Amino acid sequence: MLKNIKEDKRLSVINHSCAHLLAQAVKHLYPNALFWVGPVIEEGFYYDIDLGDNVIKDSDLEKIEKEMKKISKDGKRIYREELSREDALEKFKNDPYKIDLINNMLDDTVISCYTQGDFTDLCRGPHVESVKELKHFKLLKVSGAYFKGDSKNKALQRIYGVCYETEQDLKEHLQYLEEAKLRDHRKIGKEQEIYMNHELVGSGMPLWLPNGAIIRKQLENYIYNKERKLGYNHVYTPCVGTVNLYKTSGHWDHYKENMFPMMKVDEEEFVLRPMNCPHHMLVYKNKLHSYRDLPIRIGEFATDFRYEASGAVKGLERVRCMCQNDAHLFVTPEQIKDEFKQVVNLILDVYKDFGIKDYKFRLSLRDKEDKEKYFDDDEMWDNAENKLREVLNELEIPYFEAIGEAAFYGPKLDVEVKPAVGPEVTLSTCQLDFLLPRRFELSYIDNKGEKQTPVVIHRAIFGTFDRFTAFILEETKGALPTWLAPIQVNIIPVNNEHHLEYANKIYSLLKDEFRVELDNREEKLSYRMRESVVRKIPYTLILGQKEVDSNTISYRKYGSEETINITIDEFVDLIRKEIK
């Protein structure tokens, strides 16, 4: 894992100072450059820059780094100066970005700026004492960013970098980044032919190739079986709904910017669904329910469409067309705790099966100020949030709280994981909702014969098959466990002339139960064996004269150099056991 630079005081200061050093170097090389903000992030720092008509490419970074080194060697001291608002506005009068920053500062903010040699920047600080201290840095990449993050505003250029106190620390950081690139599911996905994208289909709309489809089918079967045992009933519902459906649920008012626009067919107005809850509410409403029927657990592997900003779309991890491993649990208020616990235990169980250890529970709460995003009913929210806290404390799982991350209808318990490249993402989620059942006027008859409103728990264990597959490819570096691997066994006859017949026989014996390939290309044995390793196939069988004569097989397991000779029955037993 990388060190979190933002959480380390000293590293924060030197990275922030290095952002200024970057800005100074850019100013030397591009005198018209203007600077917006240059914060410290977990992985280092960046600076957002307005370069007018100039464009900085990755290939320009070396030149900028050189200039930074020169300034650093020059060794100027860094001075802090505090200014009145009037003086600050006067000092930065030719810089619209700094004027904007000053104008947005609260009245009691101490306005300060920092100067090193010929460069002054508005900044809260603190900084190192001299640019001399900034020696071990690296600029990493350039990307686009909008002023204030809003695509309606001017496009700026963002340069990323990182700075450490020692060359060794920097080296380790860069090494980690190199390894992370190899683990990136977009690279593995391409190499192993798991998914593809095509501009004619659209961005964020992956096409799952046969190998990916096998993985997905395995995941579906795996989770379906778990859910069936826990009393879930699965349904199939359409991936569109009318605008009225989403007006009823509240998505139209609170979630519209995440949805694809409406389309009209005859007199009906449709939207591609961003979530499946409304459909499942209607499935629940199809029948009258007594308290004895509850909990009712309705599951679906359901396709959803969401508008994700084009810059945010990423491989299988963040897509615009996704398939959720979704379910909605309809419960009485008394059942909330047990049902929620069942979901959390299912999450823990699944993570154990997949060997996922690095994750954090996040309690996602509403932002009380944000009346646009969140349904306005403080009592309902307080009740739901407290209930969730209670359950979490009883479960004794460690979690952190995040304001403004709740769904518009209720608070969530999310599981956060770190992908190979980029910021943390949510995998599993479990959410408590008092709102949608009310909006859909759902009911059940309680033990006194009175009508009551059920509570709904929304949950997705994998999150989406898309994101989970991305994550698992990165966790395993593409070497999937045998039960998930698209090809489980690769059979290589040493020599086609003498051993192909035997290889065909072994292939026939295995192919109905396992996913097997026979590599009878006229290529060297060493070449075919190497390729089997590159493709990360769990088992490679090597069949030569010895195996033909003794009616056995020799295999190599991925990751091992050892070749083991056993009978075919023993081999079948071995993988059967492993898969189980």
CA distance 39 to 16: 6
Backbone angles phi, psi at 377, to 5 degrees: -160, 85
Task: Give the C-alpha separation, 458 to 435, whole Å.
Answer: 12
Residue 326 appears among annotated catalytic residues = yes
The answer to the question of residue 553 lying near Zn ion (CB under 5 A) is no
- Using the rule CB under 6 A, is 463 a contact of ligand TSB? yes
Q: Is 251 in the site for Zn ion (CB under 5 A)?
A: no
Nearer to Zn ion, 458 or 499 (CB): 458
Q: Which of 277, 321, 323, 430 is catalytic?
A: 277
In the list ligand TSB, Zn ion, none, the entry touching 463 (Cβ below 5 to 8 angstroms by class) is ligand TSB
The reply on whether position 249 binds ligand TSB by CB under 6 A is no
358 is catalytic: no
Stretch that binds ligand TSB, among 33-41, 264-272, 459-467, 495-503 (CB under 6 A): 459-467
Instruction: Work out whether 306 is an interface residue with ligand TSB (CB under 6 A).
Output: yes
Please, which residues bridge with residue 130 across strands?
Answer: 77
> Is 135 or 412 the residue whose CB approaches Zn ion more closely?
412
> DSSP letters along 452-503, please?
E--EEEEEEEEEEHHHHHHHHHHHTTT---TTT-S--EEEEES-HHHHHHHH
Q: How far is the CB of 276 from Zn ion (least distance, A)?
A: 6
Q: Tell me how far, at minimum, the Cβ of 458 lies from Zn ion, in Å.
A: 3
Asked if 374 and 334 count as a contact pair (C-beta separation under 8 A), the reply is no
Active site includes 512? no
Residue 324 interface partner, choices ligand TSB, Zn ion, none, CB cut-off 5-8 Å depending on type: ligand TSB
Binding-site partner at residue 322 among ligand TSB, Zn ion, none, CB < 5 to 8 Å by type: ligand TSB
Quote the least distance from Cβ 433 to Zn ion, whole Å: 8
Backbone angles phi, psi at 101, to 5 degrees: -60, -45
Strands (E), 170-252: 195-196, 207-208, 232-234, 240-242
Ranges within 452-511 binding Zn ion (CB under 5 A): 458
Annotated active-site residue 251? The verdict is no
- Rounded distance, CA 175 to CA 185, Å? 18
Inter-residue long-range contacts of 518-526, CB under 8 Å, 24+ positions, other chains counted: 518/490, 518/491, 518/493, 519/490, 519/491, 519/492, 520/493, 520/496, 522/496, 525/492, 525/494, 525/495
Separate counts of helices (H) and strands (E) for the chain = 18, 28
Q: Pattern of binders to ligand TSB over 416-445, x per CB under 6 A?
A: ----------xx-x----------------
Could you say which of 324, 335, 431, 452 is catalytic? 324
254 is catalytic: no
For ligand TSB, the binding residue among 275, 392, 436, 484 (CB under 6 A) is: 275
- Cα distances (Å, whole numbers) of residue 219 to 188, 226, 438, 577: 18, 11, 34, 18
- CA R_g for the chain: 29
Residue 306 appears among annotated catalytic residues: yes
Contacts of ligand TSB in 105-124 (CB under 6 A) = none
- Does residue 126 have a cis bond before it (omega within 30 degrees)? yes
* β 296-305/232-234 pair status: parallel
Does residue 308 touch ligand TSB according to CB under 6 A? yes
φ/ψ (deg, to 5) at 96: -60, -30
Residue 324 is among the residues annotated as catalytic for this protein: yes
Distance CA(429)–CA(388), nearest Å, equals: 13
Q: Rounded to the nearest whole angstrom, what is the least distance from the CB of residue 324 to Zn ion in the complex?
A: 8
Q: How far is the CB of 116 from ligand TSB (least distance, A)?
A: 42
Contact between 466 and ligand TSB by CB under 6 A: the answer reads yes
Helices (H), 262-373: 277-285, 336-354
Task: Choose between 38 and 278: whose C-beta lies nearer to Zn ion.
Answer: 278
> Which H/E stretch holds residue 527?
helix 525-534
Catalytic option among 27, 306, 459, 528: 306
Which of 328, 535, 536, 556 is catalytic? The answer is 328
- The residue count for binding Zn ion (CB under 5 A) is 2
Q: Name which of 214 and 275 has its Cβ closer to ligand TSB.
A: 275
Phi, psi for 105 (deg, rounded to 5):
-80, 145
Q: Does 277 bind Zn ion (CB under 5 A)?
A: yes
Does residue 327 interact with Zn ion by CB under 5 A? no
Q: From the list Zn ion, ligand TSB, none, which binds 467 (C-beta under 5 to 8 Å, kind-based)?
A: ligand TSB
Task: Look up tokens 């806290």; give the residue.
Answer: 389
Given 318, 458, 467, 499, which residue is catalytic?
458
Of residues 72 and 464, the one with the C-beta less far from ligand TSB: 464
- Residue 264's CB is within 10 A of a number of other CB atoms, namely 9
Residues taking part in catalysis:
277, 306, 324, 326, 328, 412, 458
Binding site for ligand TSB (CB under 6 A): 275, 277, 306, 308, 318-319, 322, 324, 326, 328, 426-427, 429, 458-460, 463-464, 466-467
